[in-house]
Amino acid sequence: RQQKKAAGFSLDLGPLKEPIGFIRLLEWFFAIFAFATTGGFSGTTHFKVKCPGSDTHDVKPVFGYPFRLPANPFVIPSCNTTAKNQTFLQGDFSSSAEFFVCVGVFAFLYCTATLVLYLGFQYMYRQTTRGPIVDLVVTGAFTFLWLVSSSAWGKGLTDVKWATNPENLVTQCKDICEPGESPSLGRLNASVIFGFLNLILWAGNCWFIYKETPFHKDPIPVEGGPTGP
């Protein structure tokens, strides 16, 4: 009867006071920050076209997530004719950006599921060894995925910065073009930081989950003095 009574949801906030629950809650927040700062990003870069004896034209190429830069063409005015030269930003960095966001979304979903398990079904998590072992394996896998995705997106962001730098854009029309304002990429810089913070959190949490598994054995206390017959 007691097992049947315990078979339902039973909210207990106690695990949040333990490292395994508190760190999982932090992972939940930082996963949101990681994919939210990358997905949905939109920005512009800027340079000016100065034709002799005419007004200055502002050119503002647009780019954004998933950073397939040639997807958004822009027009460079021609000084000699009325024709307009349509061109594109160079580089497709969608693979690293989408991989990073995908890891963040799946990490968020896993954190949500395990927090429900920790807080509502703690007895199910601890009554068998399978729960902590599966949790340890998945947490270790996400640690590796955060390492790979954050490193790849960090390199991808470096390439995005180069491809959208006004100093590099004006090389195709350097006789009449001059660089303008650089794009604001602080949000993307933060996304890479959040990615590596997630790596640290998930790696650290592996130890606390490992302590819940049967692989971790508590030291056996040694009783003092000999035992009687």
Which of 72, 104, 96 is CA-nearest to residue 183?
72
Lowest-pLDDT range of 1-5, 67-71, 177-181: 1-5
Q: What is the pLDDT of residue 52?
A: 77
- CB count within 10 Å of CB 109 equals 12
More confident call, 21 vs 199: 199
143-160 average pLDDT score: 96
| Tokens representing residue 94 in the block | 């969608």
Q: Which secondary structure element, helix H or strand E, spans residue 59, and what is its range? A: strand 56-59
What is the spatial distance between Cα 43 and Cα 64, in angstroms, rounded to a whole number? 6
Instruction: Decide if 30 contacts 195 (C-beta within 8 A).
Output: no
User: Could you give the angle at the alpha carbon of 68 between the alpha carbons of 63 and 73, nearest 5°?
Assistant: 55
